[in-house]
Structure formats: C-alpha cells, structure tokens
Copies of this chain bind each other. A is one copy, B any other.
Amino acid sequence: MGSVGGTGFIMTVLRRQDMKSSLDYFFNPKSIAVIGASNNPQKPGHVIVKNLIEMSYPGKIFPVNKIETEILGQKAYSDISKIEDSVELVVLISRSDMIYEIMEDLDVRMKKKNDVKAIVCASAGFAEIKDEEGAGRQEALMATAKKYGIRVMGPNCIGVIDNKNRVDTTFVETLMPKESKGKPGGISFISQSGATAASILMIGASLPSPMRYNKFVSIGNMADVDFIELLEYMEQDENTRVIGLYMEGYPDARRLVETMGRISLKKPVVVLKVGKTERGAAAANSHTGSLVGADRVYDSAFRQYGIIRVKSIDELIDTMRAFDALPLPRGNRLFLYTQAGGPGIYCMDTLNDYDFIEFPVIGDVAKAKLKDMLLPMATICSPEGYADITASATVRHHVDGLKVILDEDNVDSAVLVTVVPNFLPREELGNELKKYIMSQKQKPVFPCIMAGNYVRSSRVILEEAGIPTFDTPDRAARAAANMTRYSMFLKKRGRAYDQDIK
C-alpha cells in the first residue's frame, strides 16, 4: 500500500475494493494493548486507557506495565508477550530507550501468536531528535515491525481516533464529557504535528457541540504509514466526506499534491500548510526534519488542483465542519442576510476578499414578499444580495425571510448574521432555524449567531442537529467562500459531488 500511487487511479480503486487494508487495524482493531499504561493520572499511558474506556471502546484493552496488576479496572500484564488473548493493535507510550526490550518481548509474542497487526508509537525520542540514539531506536522499532509485517503509525505522534468504531488511542485530555465522546461525523483529519493535532482536538471538544470526526490521525515521523497512504485510505473510505490536513512538508511534494488533487475531484481536501517563509521552513526543518518545498510551489499546485488552502486553525476547523455538514452550494451566488448592520458590513468586507463570490439580484416578487413580511425599517436588497432586517426582527423574520431568499433559483447559499438581543428568544431562534435548515437540504446556510456565552444555548441546538455555527461574521464568510470555491472547481472540471455520504 502507499506505493500504489504510481499505478494510477483506476487500478487503485479496483485493488481497494478487493482487499481489506492493513490500515484498518489502526481504526477498527478487535483488541488493544497499551504498553506504558499507568495508574498515575499524570502519565500519558494513563490517559490512553482512560480515553479508550470513556469512548466505550467495544474491544478488549490490555494495559502493559511492569509493576501494576490492574489499571483503571483492566487486568495489567508485565509485558506484551504475557497477554493470553489475541492482540491486534499495540499502542506504545513507554520511554523511548525501552524500545529494544519491548521489541524483544514483541518478538517473543509474534513467534508464539503472530497476532499483532499494527503499532501506534506515541512515544517521542526517535528519529525526530536527529541523533544516533534516536535513529537507532526507530530502526529497532521498524526492524521488528517489518519482520512480521506490522504497520506502524509514528513514532512521535499523539495517536489515532476513530469515532465510528469508538477507538481513541490518544493521550490528549480535553475535558469533553463522556456522553459527548465518539459522535461520528464525516471529517477525517491528518496532522503532521502532534501539538497542532492536540490543540485542534482541544478546541474541537470545546465547541458548542464537539467536532465530529470520522478518523483523526497524528502521523508523527512517518516511519511507515505516511501522508499519501493515509490520503488514499481516506479517499476510499465511504464515511469520509471531507479530508483535513495540517502539514509542514513532505519529501515528494509532487506526488503528494497529485494525490491530493486526484482526491479533490471526489471529496474536498482542506489544508493548513505552514512554513510559508524561509524562516518558517527553517523552524519546520528543526522540528520534524521533513524537507520543506518552496511554499509558492505548494500554493500554486493547491490552486490548480482545487485543494482548499486555509490560513488559520480557526478557518481549518470552520471549513472542515462546513464541508461535513452542509450541502455544497450549486454556484457562487451568495445572499447575505443580516439582523445587525455593523456585523453585516464587516461580513461583506470579508466576502469581498473573494472575487468569485457574486451577490444575486433576486426577483421582484421575492423582494415584494420580503417587504411585506419584514419590518418597515428593514433594508432589502440595497445593495443587491444583501438584507438588513434590523435588531427588532423576530424569530419569524429571521426564518421566513431566509426561506424566501433561498427559494429563489439564482441564490446558491446564504450567510445569516444575527446579534441576539434580550427580547429574541435564543432557544426558539435555534429551534426554528434548525427546523428550516433541516427541511431544505439543497442550499447551505452559514449561521453566525452572536455572541459569547449568551447565545451558546442557541448554537448548541443547531450544532447538535449537525449544523455548524460560526463565532464571527468573517469566519462564516470564509467557510462559505471556501465551499463556493470548491463547487466552482468541480464545475470547471465537470465533476459531480456526492453529497449523500451520511
């Protein structure tokens, strides 16, 4: 796998349909051993076991610890060779200098059982530290893995999550309540940086409704599984609706970008690529040791291939959520429907950064309907494609006006901005917007309900129904523009977009 990139698009599809991928063992293992599991809540090896339990992982968990006999209610084993049951996935979080001993134990096990299919090596202190010791450790890990055909994720990664299969091998604490864990969505995300991955998990857990991933992967040193193989895996994965990437660099930039480009004809690929300048590239090189190509080469390739490049962590999160949950706009005609003048203008300023966005002229009948329905002081279609329904607008003004606009044939999407005043019932607004947005699945609505804790209850109602909401008008505008850009790319390439994954 991974090496098939060169054999072309059709070959890959045919082969994938026939075979089970070896990567499946990372995302849907029947059992998991955690080497370096701990009873000390301050150890990552504790959090991994805790995360698996809180995720209600349905398979067996085998903590491995030299001293303890039980960890978080699970029987513990002194080394990997001592586990009687079958082990499919091993998560490794011990000190890196113990890798030699652990690989010996694994060798003992494999000779007897030959059951382990995959290792997530979450420990750091391998090739990324760029000395002989680190390199030696990584070699030792890979030697045993190759000997038995075991796939390796990492080292120097934070783990792997599959929400659908209720697997969480990360050691990241987010304070997400147990009942919110494991809600699957269509986002699959790959991060070259463990810390960025952890940050994004932490931010995602704190949203009005937590981020819904399909798969989440911290890829680490890529000693074995790398970007391209994972991308191809997610390309084939029918539960992945949008692929997100955080990347610093990759040795074979051309092949990576071509793979991303091929995929982007089928599903959106959203990238936060850092190391934009020489200095940034130097820092990236110190960090992961990956060769960083000139950023402008990436940038123009991304444009050519319809890959959506985002500029910030916030935009990455917003855009992935929008692609996951909202229908793709059929075209570039966007209506800005605002209850708040200033925030509306601010939103329009952001939309004007994207020269491909058009503001549609809606029909006279629709305009008359809006005039009838809205408050006398509302500003309707001045300028065209824009309405300000004023701060006195009721819930019905919000929802019914939006419906009139989206019923117009020449409107492809709408951004809704509202700053909820005290007399506007927040929960009712959330519920009525939800009802309307769920009732029409043809055109996307990008809701920005402001602001702060005051409107959280309203946003929770929409988000729990799978409709993303946005913190500020510029963030809603960027998500809408990114979806529109992708829609136009597909159109230009004559591709249809499969919106019915979920």
Contact = CB atoms under 8 A, between A and B. Distances in A.
Interface string A187-211: 0000111111111101111100000
Contacts of A282: 382-383
A99 to B, nearest CB: 16
Contact of A349 (B276, B348, B377): B276
Interface residues of A, number: 82
A398 B422 CA distance: 44
A345 interface: yes
A392 B124 contact: yes
User: Ordered nearest first, which 7 A-B pairs have the shortest CB separation?
Assistant: A193-B342, A195-B340, A206-B452, A287-B341, A196-B342, A202-B451, A202-B452
Contacts of A145: none
B349 A193 contact: no
Nearest to A392: B124
Interface in A421-452: 421-423, 425, 450-452
16 contacts: A42-B425, A44-B423, A192-B342, A198-B419, A198-B450, A199-B419, A200-B451, A203-B452, A205-B453, A206-B451, A206-B452, A274-B346, A279-B352, A283-B345, A287-B344, A287-B345
Contacts of A227: none
Nearest to A418: B195
A288 interface: yes
A246 interface: yes
Interface in A276-303: 276-277, 279-280, 282-284, 286-288
A200 to B, nearest CB: 8
A454 interface: yes
A290 to B, nearest CB: 11
A388 interface: yes
A455 interface: yes
B349 A423 contact: no
Interface string A43-87: 110110000000000000000000000000000000000000000
Identical subunits present: 2
Contact of A173 (B172, B345, B392, B454): B454
Contacts of A486: none
A388 B280 CA distance: 13
Contacts of A352: 276-277, 279-280
A463 to B, nearest CB: 15
Contacts of A383: 279, 282-283, 286
A275 B425 CA distance: 30
Contacts of A199: 340, 343, 419, 450-451, 472
A456 to B, nearest CB: 8
A485 B125 CA distance: 40
A43 B424 CA distance: 10
B342 A246 contact: yes
Contacts of A425: 42
Given A199-B450, A451-B202, A472-B312, A124 B277 contact: no
Contacts of A248: 342, 345
A26 interface: no
Given A202-B452, A283-B345, A287-B345, 15 more contacts: A44-B423, A172-B422, A174-B453, A193-B340, A195-B450, A198-B419, A202-B454, A204-B452, A275-B345, A276-B349, A283-B388, A286-B383, A286-B388, A312-B472, A314-B472
